[in-house]
């Protein structure tokens, strides 16, 4: 009995049209990262289970665990823990500050939903080994430039600081043992809104005297300097929180120095980012439409890598979710034409002209034009249908008459228009 052909739940196949867009996204992110001096790195998708254990908090239940012989293993949950292991494992092979980028799959045993899969690909970039607001701002600048290069125009990068929310809890009078309730409630803001956060605080045992100023604080919004001023006013009694606001102000100034458009970012006191391992500035890129939540996020985490290196190694980084970017770009029509198909399809008019057709295809490829050649002579209409189904823009025909005149018929499969072009000028015409 033939088994049913199906993909494991939470995982996805990518056929050529989708895969080309993914490759375009990767190419763009790589080009931007390398312009900022980030270097490529790759780690295995399989780690020892002990490498991940104790690093993920409540999310450890999502780890895919394996066993091979006596080895207890796990599939990579994300690329951050793997980076931490590498820094601890190769202390003499890395020059700090270390700018790295990495691309690959990770695995989480969670419920599938829009933009979230059990196997997913991320493009990570991090700056390791320096506690610097310049590093924080540089990662945000890479995010902004990358999104702009991919065609996004309506994105905003929200900025906050881990110590802002810690200070908020202290200033509001929340006991330290209940502070985690504040973080968890605020982290749900985008899903449950102001009233939902207020309700969550109450459920967590946070009294109204503390809940009211917390809710008022996280709804601050507006011009960057005005929001920073309001945050300072409310947190000024807490030195650590005030320093966090000053750090945010420094990052904002550096973003201006780096040429990031002012409309591309905002200070958002409601941004929490889970806060499980973040220690400083956090950020998240969002769009209003289509509704998909955040495009990506990141921040400063100064203690995670130290768990492998035996010393504190300050780090800031971000991760682009490729699936999420792909969904949004497809819905917004941001996929560029060149990412979807080869540019030319060379038909074979007849068996006797096969050599001429293949030589033309070879010349076009040598000129840098992605070209598909028919694999056997067939009815011209059938070949044109194949080219159109593959999304190829131009079909080329070399028949006996064209061969005699030294010409090629170039047919635009989108407009239906066709023209004769001198054989020697075809490559330039298609460019």
Peptide bond into 397 cis (omega under 30): no
Give domain limits for the chain.
16-332, 341-430
Q: Which pLDDT belongs to residue 185?
A: 86
The Cα–Cα gap between 355 and 370 comes to 19
pLDDT at 412: 94
Per-residue tens of pLDDT for the chain, all 431 residues: 567 899 888 889 999 888 989 999 999 999 999 999 999 999 999 999 998 887 777 778 888 899 999 999 999 999 988 998 999 899 899 999 999 999 999 999 888 777 678 999 999 999 999 999 999 999 999 999 999 999 999 899 999 999 999 999 899 888 888 888 888 888 888 788 888 888 888 887 888 888 888 889 889 999 999 999 999 999 988 999 999 999 999 999 999 999 999 999 999 999 988 757 789 999 999 998 776 778 899 999 998 888 777 788 999 999 999 999 999 999 999 988 766 678 999 999 999 999 999 999 999 999 999 999 999 999 999 999 999 988 899 999 999 999 999 999 999 999 999 999 999 999 999 98
Q: Quickly count: other Cβ atoms within 10 Å of residue 93's Cβ.
A: 8
Question: What does the pLDDT read at residue 2?
Answer: 63
pLDDT of residue 340: 64
pLDDT number for residue 291: 67
What CATH number matches the domain at 341-430, 3.40.1410.10, 3.40.50.150, 3.40.50.1240, 3.40.50.800?
A: 3.40.50.800
Phi, psi of 84 (to 5 degrees): -60, -45
- Domain 16-332 adopts which CATH fold? BirA Bifunctional Protein; domain 2 (3.30.930)
**Predicted pLDDT of residue 109:** 86
Of 99, 124, 130, 133, which Cα lies nearest the Cα of 256?
A: 133
Query: What's the chain look like in SS3?
Result: CCCCCCCCCCCCCCCHHHHHHHHHHHHHHHHHHHHCCCEECCCCCEEEHHHHCCCCHHHHHHCCEEEECCEEEEECCCCHHHHHHHHHHCCCCCCCCEEEEEEEEEECCCCCECCECCEEEEEEEEEECCCCHHHHHHHHHHHHHHHHHCCCCCEEEEEEEHHHHHHHHHHCCCCHHHHHHHHHHHHCHHHHHHHHHHHHHHHCCCCHHHHHHHHHHHCCCCCHHHHHHHHHHHHCCCHHHHHHHHHHHHHHHHHHHCCCCHHHEEECCCCCCCCCCCCCEEEEEEECCCCCCEEEEEEECCCCCHHHHCCCCCEEEEEEEHHHHHHHHHHHCCCCHHHCCCCEEECCCCHHHHHHHHHHHHHHHHCCCCEEECCCCCCHHHHHHHHHHCCCCEEEECCHHHHHHCEEEEEECCCCCEEEEEHHHHHHHHC
Amino acid 223: pLDDT = 95
Taken in order 100, 254, 29, 331, the sign of the CA dihedral is positive
In 3D, which of 409, 411, 343 has the Cα closest to residue 371? Answer: 343
**Rg from Cα positions in the chain:** 27
């Amino acid at each position: 009995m033939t088994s049913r052909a199906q993909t494991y739940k939470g995982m996805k196949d990518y056929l050529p049209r989708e895969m080309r867009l993914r490759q375009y996204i990767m190419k763009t992110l790589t080009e931007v990262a390398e312009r900022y001096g980030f270097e490529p790195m790759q780690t295995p998708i399989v780690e020892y289970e002990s490498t991940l254990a104790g690093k993920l908090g409540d999310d450890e239940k999502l780890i895919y665990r394996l066993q091979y012989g006596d080895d207890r293993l796990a599939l990579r949950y994300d690329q951050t823990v793997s980076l931490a292991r590498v820094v601890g494992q190769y202390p003499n092979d890395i020059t700090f500050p270390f700018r790295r980028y990495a691309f690959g799959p990770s695995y989480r045993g969670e419920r599938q939903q829009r933009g979230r899969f059990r196997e997913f690909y991320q493009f990570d970039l991090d700056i390791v080994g320096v506690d610097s607001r310049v590093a924080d701002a540089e990662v945000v600048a890479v995010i902004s430039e990358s999104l702009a290069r991919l065609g996004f125009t309506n994105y905003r990068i929200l900025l906050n600081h881990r110590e802002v929310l810690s200070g908020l809890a202290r200033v509001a009078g929340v006991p330290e043992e209940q502070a985690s309730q504040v973080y968890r409630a605020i982290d749900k803001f985008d899903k449950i809104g102001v009233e939902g956060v207020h309700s969550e605080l109450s459920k967590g045992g946070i009294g109204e005297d503390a809940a009211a100023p917390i809710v008022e604080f996280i709804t601050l919004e507006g011009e960057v300097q005005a929001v920073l001023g309001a945050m300072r006013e409310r947190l000024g009694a807490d030195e650590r929180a005030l320093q966090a606001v000053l750090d945010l102000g420094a990052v904002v100034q550096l973003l201006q120095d780096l040429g990031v458009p002012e409309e591309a970012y905002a200070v958002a006191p409601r941004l929490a980012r889970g806060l499980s391992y973040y220690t400083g500035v956090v950020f998240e890129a969002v769009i209003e439409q289509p509704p998909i939540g955040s495009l990506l996020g990141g921040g400063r985490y100064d203690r995670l890598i130290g768990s492998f290196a035996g010393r504190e190694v300050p780090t800031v980084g971000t991760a682009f979710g490729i699936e999420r970017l792909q969904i949004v770009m497809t819905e917004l029509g941001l996929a560029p034409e060149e990412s979807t198909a080869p540019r030319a399809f060379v038909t074979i008019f007849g068996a006797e002209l096969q050599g001429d057709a293949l030589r033309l295809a070879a010349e076009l490829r040598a000129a840098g034009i992605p070209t598909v050649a028919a694999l056997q002579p067939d009815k011209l209409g059938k070949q044109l249908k194949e080219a159109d189904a593959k999304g190829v823009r131009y079909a080329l025909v070399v028949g006996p008459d064209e061969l005699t005149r030294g010409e090629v018929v170039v047919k635009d499969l989108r407009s239906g228009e066709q023209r004769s072009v001198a054989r020697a000028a075809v490559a330039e015409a298609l460019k």
